[in-house]
Amino acid sequence: MKIRMKTKKLNLIRSGAAATLFVLAVSLASTIIGPGQAQAAIALVGSNTATTTTGTTATTLALTKPAGVISGTVMVVHLTYNAGANKGVTVTKPTGWLQAGGYVSNGNWWQSVFYKVAGGSEPTSYTFTISRASNIVGGILAYSGVDNTAPIDDVIGYTSGATNTTTHSAPSASASTNGDMMVNFWGYLTATTATSYDASLTANYSVSTTNVGDASAGKVLNNAGVTGTFNSFTAGNTKWLAHTVLLLPSSRPAGISFVSSATTFCASCSNLSLTSPAGWSAGDFFIVSVLWNSAATLTAPNSSWVQIGSTQVDGAYSQAVFYHVADISDPSSYSWLFSTATNVIIAGTDYAGVDVAAPVDDTQTANDASGSNHIAPSVTSTHSNDYYVGIWGFEANFIGSTTSFSSTLNSAWNLVDGTTLGSDSMYEPLGNAGASGTRFTTSVNPSNNAQLRNTRSLMRSIALKPFIPIPKLYIPVDQSTGAPLYTVFQVKDYLINPGPEKYKIELCSNSTCTTILSTYDQTSSQTGWSGQDVSGATAYNGTSALSTSTMATYTLQTPLTANTQYWWRAYAYDVNGGYFTPPSNISSFKTSVYPAAPTLFQPGNGASNVPLNPEFRLAATDADGDDLQYKIQLCSTATCSTVLYTFDQTSSQAGWSGQDNATFTAYGSDPTLASNSTPAFYDFTSANLAQNTQYWWRAYAIDPAGTNTFSAASAISSFTTNLTETRIIEGRILGSKIL
């Protein structure tokens, strides 16, 4: 548990020492941050760039480790290179590095992203090797505060095609949680650097060499969801490639918690600024109450401030409540405008862990004409762990003494302007979903808490919805190819309140998952689910951190279609809470391609004088590079309508040799040429074939870890065995061949 004390600036009344001490005491008490709050955001530690020498090409690029890298720092490398079209270009990465997403190519230009979690001992530089000599440019970025178990939340590649322009968009990605770091990369297809970026982005680097340029910028995201596209700009027109990479933060909000508050007031103002609450972070949720006693109309600082409900009006005074999601580029204060000068109190509170996409679960208002007991209405929460926020606006110079029917409220602010207005805000975490019940505060003299005072009051109750974690998709990797037809899905999530969780997977035929092909719901059936460890081995352990939650595994029970693209997403089910989370990001994969029909090498077609126990040699290609096994049919007819022998490697390894993959039970395949694949050898071990006889043979290939389906048959090849005779000369038996 982290507890941090923050100081804040308060405008206090100066009409009495008791009032000052009361407000100050409440202020300091309210700045203690609750459990699981105020985690450090992801931050850039350092960066470096490198290029091949101007006017030359090379096959390697070495990037120097940024200063400040320590164990747990996450490094990201982006490379742009002109390796030529249709060359099957690959990049050999240093030990410990992983590729994020696939290669992106536009004609002769290529782009790729790699990442690594730094260990306790790292080299001074990292060398990446490209399979074809190229002009190469790239950068390395190092970040703190990134999840070491699953650093990449999402990665999307983009190519501009034939478009030449000075504005270059990086693709939209989907963040699964608040606080992701978005890193945009652009690869320019000329020797160009970026002149600027969208205003909300912070530049990381821009560098170029002959024929290629590379640039990066990024920012911490306010909230989960679709990022939208972001731009870099160049002085001249160029084509480009781009990647958007989202990094997961190492810690997530554990429900809603109070951070701090800030207040101000004025006796007669038409423009009043409120300082941002101390200790705020990007993605935090600000609630601001504005209370004034005139017919003046109010204008919020800008369109990012959203009013909660409508303005409450009672006689000569009004109260309006707004919210705003904090952005990294927010100012230090916000100016509120009135059409005419008025007495006004403005007070704001910073909460963390709010679902900023749909923050207000419910809000209700009430007012009373007089009295000292002011009852704020009940609100109904649709989700457990909502936060109750109550706001009271008093017509007179009074403040509230806080108690509650169900539990003790916590004070966010208690403030009077010294003459005509008083304002209170209280908060508390709610338990299960449902009606919160009413809350009340008693109005007292600020200089003497024992003196109850009658006053009119405007009241607003708000139920804030917490950010609900959504599952992280692991396998199949997004944009991957070659998935087996009996695909295995792996996913996990964490819970605000740790406990058992189950999952539901939706398999879709389009990128928005509006067309769902199949649903695999663990709450309905355990079939296909494995690795369960709690609730009688029927659920997974959801902890308060993604890194320590249990991975859920689901294996398809019916095969998918080969060479087909699918999309999928998942939901987690909180067994104790009784609800499904919102859906995860959508990930795509493409199933494996059937192996090509084998090429028959030996015996060659039309071969004669073949031994009676021949050796068969063959190979096949597989577009996914899957390991292959083979089946040979030896026939007595030219159409192979009569099969004499079948030698099936999937049934028996006897007679097969030269195997090099899958624990020496399969052969390596190449996606381009059968002659580049590992040749399979089969030695005929049955009784010798007949002498001087024509035979025909054909073969099939199978990829057990891919489609697990035999290919089409190869072409039929024929051969003729040799003719032998036995001679007895001087008591010796000699074998000879008659040609």
pLDDT per residue as tens digits for the range 631-652 = 999 999 999 999 999 999 999 9
* Sequence ranges of the chain with CATH classification 2.60.40.1220: 599-724
- Tens-digit pLDDT profile for residues 387-401: 999 999 999 888 887
Output the DSSP codes for 371-422. Answer: -SEEEEPP-EESSTT-EEEEEEEESSS-EEEE--SSSPPEEEEEEE-SSS-E
What is the chain's mean pLDDT, rounded? 88
Q: Percent of the chain scored above 90 by pLDDT?
A: 66
Residue with the two structure tokens 């009340």 = 440
Q: What is the pLDDT of residue 150?
A: 81
More confident residue, 507 or 10: 507
User: What is each CA distance from 5 to 27, 30, 263, in whole angstroms?
Assistant: 11, 9, 18
Task: From 469, 303, 439, select the one nearest 373 (Cα to Cα).
Answer: 439
Residue carrying structure tokens 């769902």: 516
Question: Given a cut of 90, is residue 494 above it in pLDDT?
Answer: no
Q: Outline which parts of the chain fall under CATH 2.60.40.10.
A: 472-591
Predicted TM-score (pTM) of this structure = 0.65
pLDDT of residue 733: 53
Q: What is the pLDDT of residue 17?
A: 31
Pick the CATH number of 599-724 from 3.40.50.11780, 2.60.40.1220, 4.10.95.10, 3.30.1330.10: 2.60.40.1220
Of the CATH numbers 3.30.300.30, 2.60.40.10, 3.40.50.1100, 3.10.20.30, which one belongs to the domain with range 472-591? 2.60.40.10
Q: Is the pLDDT of residue 25 over 70?
A: no
Instruction: Tell me which DSSP letter residue 200 carries.
Output: T
| pLDDT, tens only, 77-126 | 999 999 887 667 889 999 999 999 888 988 889 999 999 999 989 999 99
- Cβ atoms of residues 390 and 376 within 8 Å: yes
pLDDT digits (tens, 9 = 90+) for 151-174: 998 899 999 988 999 999 999 988
Average the pLDDT over 499-528 and give the result. 96
Q: Name the residue among 460, 31, 439 with its Cα closest to residue 257.
A: 31
Report angle CA 510, 514, 519 to the nearest 5 degrees.
Answer: 90
The pLDDT tens digits of the residues spanning 50-85 come to 999 999 999 999 999 999 999 999 999 999 999 887
pLDDT at residue 2 greater than cutoff 80: no
Q: Does residue 402 have a pLDDT over 80?
A: no
How open is the CA angle 509-483-500, to the nearest 5 degrees?
A: 80
CA separation (Å) from 709 to 203, 480, 645, 716, 738? Answer: 50, 20, 20, 20, 44
What is the mean pLDDT of the segment spanning 707-715?
94
